Amino acid sequence: MLIRVLAEPRPGDARVALVPRSVATLVGAGHRVLFPSGAGAAAGLPDRSYSDAGAEVFTGPPPAADLVVAVGPVNLEEILPTGSVIAFLDPLGRPEEMARLAEAGVTALAMELIPRTTQAQAMDALSSQATAAGYQAVLLAAARLPRFLPMMMTAAGTVPPAKVLVLGAGVAGLQAIATARRLGAMVSGYDIRPAAAEQVQSLGATFVGGPLEAAAETSGGYAGEVAEDTRARQLAALAPHVEAADIVITTAQVPGKPAPRLVTREMVEAMRPGSVVIDLAASTGGNCEVTVPDEEVDVEGVLVLGPRDLASGTAGHASEMYSRNVTALIRHLAPEGDLVIDPSEPITAAACVTHGGDILVPAVRAARGGGA
């Protein structure tokens, strides 16, 4: 199969979909890999490392391919000419673009729809990129906080450790907790799912109790939407913890829904000036009331950041992990050469958004109002 790597069109994203080690794996499996010159540079991966791994480095207009691999999201024009694409496609947020891919006859596989099953664990790019984002969120907050994170006992006096509060203890949140602990902060975490309490505590952080509801956890291990009265109790319980924190990192998401509001403007105003809020849910509406995606907001001396490309901050490792996820999917779908699209196979059934001119995922069809 002729696989082409996309030079990511999104400014600010330094990641690349395949790293040289994966190129070598795919070439070893009998595929050809076409690589656009310079596409790995921002992730610390020069052209030479790709050609050494067996890629064919090209400049100028993209050659035709059987499969384009990208980080994404991408539009139809950016990937042509190709028969298929693998990327974060944001299919539920961009159903009209999925319709255009279907009309053009492109087979599209969305990395965010890979099921969270044991069989698909090696392809779980949501987790790998959330890991990078959670780590990076702590580094960003630490760099912007005008205080130390660890306790320090020096001749110039004793400094108490900073207080870090992490809201949402999924993959990104747990990584943020672990990273903040390593930097010596006093860390607490919160999640609506009761199962998260033990995970937070196992990382040496304090679990901030709240009105937990068993019903908040859906069968897939995700959180569901929270009823209005529970939300009010949740906010009241969280307020004192937010106000006491030097750093608040919010990561709460509900798949397919706007992010839950957990931090109000009043809570931010009550924080100590110099404190920092990093909202990792900015792309789905934000957990914090004052978040503006990709901008810095100053609320009476408290800095609120809503970066959407945090995984790109560690582009080398984020790309390496994403590349392994994509390669595992290619090897799963193309065991002997070409992609085999079998809609009855569980991973294909979940992640294949368009094939044969149709939109295959019911939720994407529903997002278009039943069209396609």
Does 264 sit near ligand NAD (CB under 6 A)? Answer: no
Contact range with ligand NAD by CB under 6 A, out of 165-173, 265-273, 326-334, 344-352? 165-173
Does 127 sit near ligand NAD (CB under 6 A)? Answer: yes
Spatial contact of 41 and 11, defined as CB atoms under 8 Å apart: no
Active-site pick, 100, 116, 181, 365: 116
Spatial contact of 17 and 5, defined as CB atoms under 8 Å apart: yes
Of the candidate residues 20, 72, 95, 170, the single one contacting ligand NAD (CB under 6 A): 170
Minimum CB separation of residue 316 from ligand NAD in Å reads 22
Q: In a 3-state reduction of DSSP, which class is residue 144?
A: helix
Does 116 sit near ligand NAD (CB under 6 A)? Answer: yes
Active-site pick, 37, 51, 127, 283: 127
* 127 tagged catalytic: yes
* Strand duo 186-190 + 206-207: pairing: parallel
* 121 tagged catalytic: yes
Residue 262 corresponds to which amino acid? L
* 21 tagged catalytic: no
Closer to ligand NAD by CB, 62 or 72: give it.
72
Q: Which residues contact 142 (CB under 8 A, 6 or more apart)?
A: 149, 183, 247
Closer to ligand NAD by CB, 78 or 279: give it.
279
What are φ and ψ of residue 36, in 5° steps?
A: -70, 130
Cα-based distances in Å from 325 to 66, 290, 316? 19, 34, 14
Active-site pick, 119, 121, 201, 202: 121
Distance between CA 266 and CA 276 in Å, rounded? Answer: 15
* 51 tagged catalytic: no
Minimum CB separation of residue 69 from ligand NAD in Å reads 22
Of the candidate residues 13, 78, 97, 124, the single one contacting ligand NAD (CB under 6 A): 124
The structure tokens listed for 216 are 């908040």
Does 260 sit near ligand NAD (CB under 6 A)? Answer: yes
Q: In a 3-state reduction of DSSP, which class is residue 333?
A: helix
Residue 143 corresponds to which amino acid? A
* 368 tagged catalytic: no
Residue 44 corresponds to which amino acid? G
Contact range with ligand NAD by CB under 6 A, out of 8-16, 55-63, 101-109, 124-132? 124-132
Does 324 sit near ligand NAD (CB under 6 A)? Answer: no
Spatial contact of 4 and 67, defined as CB atoms under 8 Å apart: yes
Rg (CA), the chain: 22
Cα-based distances in Å from 331 to 67, 324, 353? 13, 10, 19
Distance between CA 347 and CA 344 in Å, rounded? Answer: 9
Q: ∠ CA(169), CA(8), CA(170), 5° rounding?
A: 5
Q: Tell me, residue by residue from 214 to 253, as one string, x for binding to ligand NAD by CB under 6 A and - for no binding.
A: -------xxx--x------------------------xxx
What are φ and ψ of residue 288, in 5° steps?
A: -110, 135
Spatial contact of 1 and 22, defined as CB atoms under 8 Å apart: no
Of the candidate residues 72, 168, 189, 307, the single one contacting ligand NAD (CB under 6 A): 168
Closer to ligand NAD by CB, 39 or 208: give it.
208
Count of helix runs (H) and strand runs (E) in the chain: 12, 17
Q: Tell me, residue by residue from 182 to 221, as one string, x for binding to ligand NAD by CB under 6 A and - for no binding.
A: ---------xxx--x------------------------x
Does 255 sit near ligand NAD (CB under 6 A)? Answer: yes
Residue nearest to ligand NAD (CB): 170
Does 175 sit near ligand NAD (CB under 6 A)? Answer: no
Contact range with ligand NAD by CB under 6 A, out of 71-79, 120-128, 317-325, 363-371? 120-128
> Which residues are bridge partners to 167 per DSSP?
190, 250
Instruction: Write out the residues near ligand NAD by the rule CB under 6 A.
Output: 116, 121, 124, 126-127, 130, 167-173, 191-193, 196, 221-223, 226, 251-255, 260, 262
Active-site residue numbers?
116, 121, 124, 127, 222
